[in-house]
Amino acid sequence: MKTTVYLAIGSNIGELSKNLDQAVQAVDALEGTKVTKRSANLSNAAYGVTDQDDFLNGVIEIITDLAPLDLLKAIKKIEKEMGRTETYRWGPRLIDIDIIFYGDKVLDSQELTIPHIDMVNRDFVLGPLKEIAPNKMHPIYKKTVSELYQDLIDRNQ
């Protein structure tokens, strides 16, 4: 069964725009998966560990037959094949691909939490997500992406 999924993509090493394009193409090439929407890229300061280069971020909408953990394995493989190496939490990344929403599924396992646990604190996720899915409802908070984005803006003022 096809499920609509939202993935956040980001890079702060190398040719950032090219890295995002390559990641989108690789996701689109996954079996049973098609990229259906893509936000504009957003440049922003690093999150968490801020003494590193700025990131370029975006969000894509896909439809996929892959189950959540199979999709996670597939995107981790893409990251590795593109040259990502593990450094430290919130460290520099050639490419980072995160599952934000998987349909309306709520999942909390050791390997994966859906919806993404920290998405409501990240303007670089909510901004691009709002561009392509403003009315997507968060299954836990029961608010739309637009409402979550406005809440974040209000909190940061």
Q: What is the pLDDT of residues 132-154, one digit of tens each?
A: 999 999 999 999 999 999 999 99
- 8 touches 100 (CB < 8 A): yes
Q: What does the pLDDT read at residue 40?
A: 97
**pLDDT for res 122:** 87
List, in order, residues 6 or more apart from 76 with CB less than 8 Å away. Answer: none
All domains of the chain in start order, with CATH: 3-119 (3.30.70.560)
Enter the pTM of the model: 0.92
Per-residue pLDDT of the chain (157 residues; tens, 9 = 90+): 899 999 999 999 899 999 999 999 999 999 999 999 999 999 987 766 666 678 899 999 999 999 999 999 999 999 999 977 666 455 577 899 999 999 999 999 999 999 998 899 889 999 999 999 999 999 999 999 999 999 999 988 8
Give the pLDDT score at 87: 67
Residue tagged active-site, from 65, 96, 122, 155: 96
Which amino acid is it at 132? Answer: I
- 93 in active site: yes
**Which parts of 83-133 fold into alpha helices (H)?**
123-132
For tokens 């979550």, the residue is 148
Please identify which of the residues 54, 93, 118, 154 carries the catalytic annotation. 93
**pLDDT recorded at residue 142:** 97
Question: Which of 70, 84, 104, 123 is flagged as catalytic?
Answer: 84
Which of 51, 98, 108, 118 is catalytic? The answer is 98
98 an active-site residue? Answer: yes
DSSP at 26:
H
Length of the chain: 157
* pLDDT value of position 157: 82
Catalytic residue at 51? no
